[in-house]
Amino acid sequence: MSDSKSSALFERAQRVVPGGVNSPVRAFRAVGGSPVFIAKASGAYLFGESGERFTDYVGSWGPMVFGHTHPKVVAAIEKAVKNGLSFGAPTALEVEFAERVTALYPSIEMMRAVSSGTEATMAALRVARGFTKRDVIVKFEGCYHGHADFLLVQAGSGAATFGTPDSAGVPEAFARLTTVLPYNDIDALRALFESRGKEIAAVIVEPVVGNMGCIAPVPGFLEEIIALCKKHGAVSIFDEVMTGSRVARGGMQARAGLVPDMTCLGKVIGGGLPLAVYGGRREIMQQLAPIGPVYQAGTLSGNPIAVSAGLAAIELLDDALYERLEAASARLERGLNDAIKSTGASACVQRCGSMLTLFFAPGPIRNWSDAKQCDTKRFGRWHAAMLQQGEYWPPSQFEAAFVSGAHTDEDIDRTIRAAEKALRESA
């Protein structure tokens, strides 16, 4: 479903922007149809160019944990704008931001602010390689850590959606330094460390996967990553760009009571502006120039407007928010499960905090080989039927949906009714 204004914009866009979008999954190709162009957003809702309202479960792919345009975040941005847009020089705001982040994440003793999750993971791995003086990195099939060359190897998110988990343009020599294992496979990880432990610089993991749909770690998986890295002198990196301050105030590591060597953050921590973080143990982060030999830089790194939004967001991460997120998300999970039961659909719901996926497969979905068995055609039909009813769900089977603190019980119940109808229509 697309209104005439969106269709016209999409046509114009495709003439000047590849696929008409600045990030592939937004093109709706995985679900058929064409994208709705968004004019504005508020709370739990998006408004299309023709004024139509959608209940939003994409949340800008994660950042909008309080809902859109929270007045305190907007006020912080407005205040910052008046003082200047970018200085390319240190600010008090950055110091305060780093102090707040390090207090929130015990694994982060020192940090750098960058502008995107891709930059964060790319830089974290460079530091890990510099620190260990090793080259090989380990990632898990279907996990997505941004679009750096050596991370686009059996990657999730849009890469999985469009059947390009190994992107063209990535030299084979780069990809060869990335070893890929199935997610949640503790034995495979042990065996790899047994045979190649001395070569491994780092293991990077989404501690709860969002980028092949929502998949939680099996008990012991994350613990074993940390323990094996420690034993073999490698660096454990939790990519919490999606889960950070989303599944708990201090991310999945707080929820699981774990302390990885390094952590990457983005999305929520930037309050909706381009801001991300990588950080970790002091001795690792001290490898960075100007005090160490590893180089990383950025004109807009620590940008004052973005950092102001991030600080305002951190201020809002209170217990009441997480209680509300849990209640609303559990209500949605229950309702979707009831709808699956009443329609007899071959589907399951997987959830961690306010991240959730309705998979069109009986489940459980534990890794990429489970996820790719899903009926993506039916997901496409279900998605279209949801959109028709004003429900904006991620336009790919392999992306998590996000509930926000702005979703009311009424919103959730309307979504459940729509989902049930869409399940019947998509059968």
**Residues in contact with ligand HOZ by the rule CB under 6 A:** 23, 25-26, 61, 144, 157-158, 211, 399
The residues that bridge with 211 in the sheet, in sequence order, are 213
Q: Spell out the residues 6+ positions from residue 164 whose beta carbon is closer than 8 angstroms to its own.
A: none
Closest CA to 207 of 185, 245, 161, 239: 239
Closest CA to 355 of 252, 204, 203, 224: 252
Nearer to ligand HOZ, 266 or 280 (CB): 266
The residues that bridge with 114 in the sheet, in sequence order, are 276
* Closest distance to ligand HOZ from the beta carbon of 241 (Å): 9
Q: Spell out the residues 6+ positions from residue 19 whose beta carbon is closer than 8 angstroms to its own.
A: 27, 29
Judge whether 267 counts as a catalytic residue: yes
**Torsion angles phi and psi, residue 370, rounded to 5:** -70, -45
The catalytic residue among 45, 57, 144, 183 is 144
| Rounded Cα distance, 379 and 360, in Å | 6
* Closest distance to ligand HOZ from the beta carbon of 73 (Å): 19
| Rounded Cα distance, 264 and 114, in Å | 10
Judge whether 144 counts as a catalytic residue: yes
* Closest distance to ligand HOZ from the beta carbon of 219 (Å): 25
CB atoms within 10 A of CB 316: 17
Nearer to ligand HOZ, 157 or 397 (CB): 157
The catalytic residue among 45, 105, 261, 267 is 267
Nearer to ligand HOZ, 122 or 235 (CB): 122
User: Residue with the closest Cβ to ligand HOZ?
Assistant: 23
* Closest distance to ligand HOZ from the beta carbon of 398 (Å): 9
- Name the DSSP letter for residue 37: P
* Closest distance to ligand HOZ from the beta carbon of 294 (Å): 26
The two structure tokens encoding residue 231: 């034993």
Single-letter amino acid code for the residue at 48: G
The catalytic residue among 56, 183, 239, 392 is 239
The two structure tokens encoding residue 141: 């099939």
Nearer to ligand HOZ, 199 or 206 (CB): 206
Judge whether 5 counts as a catalytic residue: no
Nearer to ligand HOZ, 49 or 399 (CB): 399
Report, as residue numbers or ranges, the catalytic residues: 144, 239, 267
